[in-house]
Structures are given as C-alpha cells and as structure tokens.
Structure 1
C-alpha cells in the first residue's frame, strides 16, 4: 500500500447535472481520500430527467489529455467509464498500453438510467477485445455483462457467477457482477477472481435518488485499491460507502427526476 495520498484518474464523460460521470467520480475520489484527475471522453447535456444531447471530442484530443496527465502526474489507479464510440475506446486502450498504470477499473457504461445509449454498438467489441484485457477489475451490471458476452442477462446468482467467469476468460483479472437488476430482496454482488468467488450482499435501499450509483461504486473502488490490502476489502468498503450515499440521498434537493446519491454524506 502506498503511504502517500493516491492520485486516481477518471476517464469518462461529463454529466452537466453533476450526478454521474466525471463529476460523480471526482466527488467519490475526494470523499475517500484520493486526489482526482480527469480525462473527458464525452460531453453530455444531462439533468436528473435524462440525456438530451451528447458531443464526443476528437479521439486525438482524448489522447492528448491522457498523455498530458501521465507525462506529469503519478497515477496510482485509473477508472474508465463512458467511452462514447469505438474510436475513443481504441484511443484510450492505446494510451493505457503505452503508459501501463498499475490499477485499472473498467466500468462498462452503456445505457443511462433514462435509457439513452452512452456507448455506440460498434464500440462494444473494442471495449471487449481491447480494454477488458487491460482491466484489473470489470464492474458490469447484468445487462452490460450480457451485452459483452452476447448472452441473455443473468436471472439468478448462479448465472451471475458463470457470466463473471466467462468475462474473466476474456482477459479481465477480476469481475464484480452487480446484482441490482435481480428481482431479489437484497442487492447481491459477486466478486469473481482467480482465487475464487465472493458474495458481497447488501441491502436494497428504497430511495428515488439513484443517479450515478454505478459511476460512484467503480470510482470508490479505484480510490480504495491502493489504500486497502486486497481487492475484496476495497470492494467491500466501496459498497458500504455507496450504501451510505444512497441512504442519505434524500437530504439533497437536486432536480425533478432521478436525483444523485450523496457523495459527502459523512461530512455534510
């Protein structure tokens, strides 16, 4: 474990409403004791009601951002979120192969909560074939895991583990299969690693404000990876943090749709 404050980089899209994407990532990093840097892969016109427009920058500009960060700043962990299209996904993969950061968390962001596509279909293959093998941890929800595998979403926990193993076979060193889409009383996740599988249970928090939960969890894990003794501890502590952020989300009054979680619930 590093003794200094970790520097964590988020590679993701911007959410103008502040609840997900780059904005959520930087808040989670700060809340968990890490310094956050950012590379923006897309601009979204977005609020709590949905996404109204997306602008993707030239892939060369994404590369320029990545090189600028890595050429100057020690990066202890990377979180990857929204990638928008195949060209940007490929640019990110190329840069990460060159710079070789120690830890990479890949959150396969494909569809927003308002059902807006955040990853074009031609980019799914690039994420699967080029980015997935670079990941220390992949954090798909059930529809995302199914899209990567070309299968139907897992309907139970046994199928979650099977699909997690299948994703590991594609090159990811570990997979956190998120069970929020299961019709279960709780919200179980399964951590699938070479050393075995671990069930991480958690309460299903009955709140309206759930915007940015996936971004926040993956960012929390990235922030904690260099501050914990092993991946399982980082994931478990990140889940506890997210549960608290969900439980406190109704203290925020942000927008008229699905509001954000409360990233600073321990301090405000």
Structure 2
C-alpha cells in the first residue's frame, strides 16, 4: 500500500513539475530519496510516469502536431502564406543538439549527475539563468510562437542541452534561452511545450529499452497509478501555466527553486 501512495504522490509531482520551469527530474530524485522510493523498479517507474505527462501535451497540442505532420508529408516548409507557422524544420533544429549531447554523454549523465547533490546545484544554477533571462534587456522579435525563426529554434535547442543535467529543468532552460534569443516569454513557453513531445518520447523510449528487464507484470498497477495521475495533473498544469505565463515572471520560479534547494539540503544532505 505504501508503494501505491508513493505512486500517487510522485505521479502528481511529475505531472505538476514536468512543464513548469522547476525540473521534474530533480523533484523525482529528491522526493524519491525523501520517501525511500528507490531501486531499479522505482527508476523504471519514474520513466513510465514521464510518459504520462508527455501524453497530456500530445492531447492538448494534437491539432498543431497534425498540421506539422501534414507539412512534413507534403515537404511543405515554406512561409508563402500570409501567416508563418511553426513547421517540422523548427522542431528538428530544436531537437538535434540535446540528442547529440545525450548520445555522447549518456553514461556520464546517468552515473554522475543523477544524485541529490548535483540536483541541488543545478536547481540553483537554473534559477540564476532564469533571473538573467527575465532581467536582460532585449528586443522581442517573436511575440507569438509562429514568429520563431529557424535560428531561434536551433538556439533554444542548444539551451535545451542544459536540461540533460537533472534539476536544471528542460522548460526552464528552453524558456530562458528563448527569451535571451528574442522571443516573448509566452512564445518560448508554448514552443517548449510543443518540442517536449518528440524529445521526451525519444528519451523515454531509450530509457524504457534500457530498463526493459525491470518492466514486470507485478508492478503494472503501480505504474498505471503513476501514469494516469501524471497524465491528469499535467493536463491541468499545462493549461494553467499557459494562462498565467504572461503575468508571472520567471523570478518567482527561480525563487521557488532556491527555496526547495535549501529545504532539501537541510532534509536530505545534512
């Protein structure tokens, strides 16, 4: 029963934090340590519930993904229409950097960065980046998501590499990167959610393949509880976040990161 309670708690945390700039992976590691929910089965569980959060965004952005897919099938990447639109090239450019870095440094990331100590450091480092992004004076050239250029998409992809360090936050690094490259906070957040599905589906597929021997029928109920909880909470979190992103500055999320880092340092590291 305790494992099922942990599954509910961690599923809710995953769904709430996956698309907020506070690092879901960092929260999974820290709260997993705090709850004593550890081991190979627990690590596989954390991968499965990530998939639940991904599915939430896939449902919410289904129409836009279909437009992108249609353009890809027709090899239509032009901007001849009166209104530009994000296309498959934007998505690919944003995904390539993190994919390359992950494949090259996968073992180092898994062995040296997945721990409470590195997570606490990256929570603080990511918070500093967000403060810088929020306060640097810049000219906004992409007010809406469809205004994002290929160069900005690739630049956002470079910033996404920082998210391979657990605790840095994929959404935090990409939103901050987008803002530093001239997008509005709203456009950066929206684009971040859009590229999250192919990025996370690929990463989750690789992780699940590596953990395939730990996917057993005995843990099916546990995985299902976490998956469904993460899916429902993520849908609510994404819709809510997009509504408040224009009003809530990144500094507030940075402050939260500093507070949570201090609290977990006192609870886990001391």
Question: Which interval holds the TM-score relative to the shorter structure?
Answer: under 0.3
Q: Give the strand-richer structure, 1 or 2.
A: 1
Q: Give the helix-richer structure, 1 or 2.
A: 2
TM-score normalised by L of structure 1: 0.27
Which entry has the higher C-alpha Rg, 1 or 2? 2
Higher relative contact order by CA 8 Å / sep ≥ 6: 1 or 2? 2
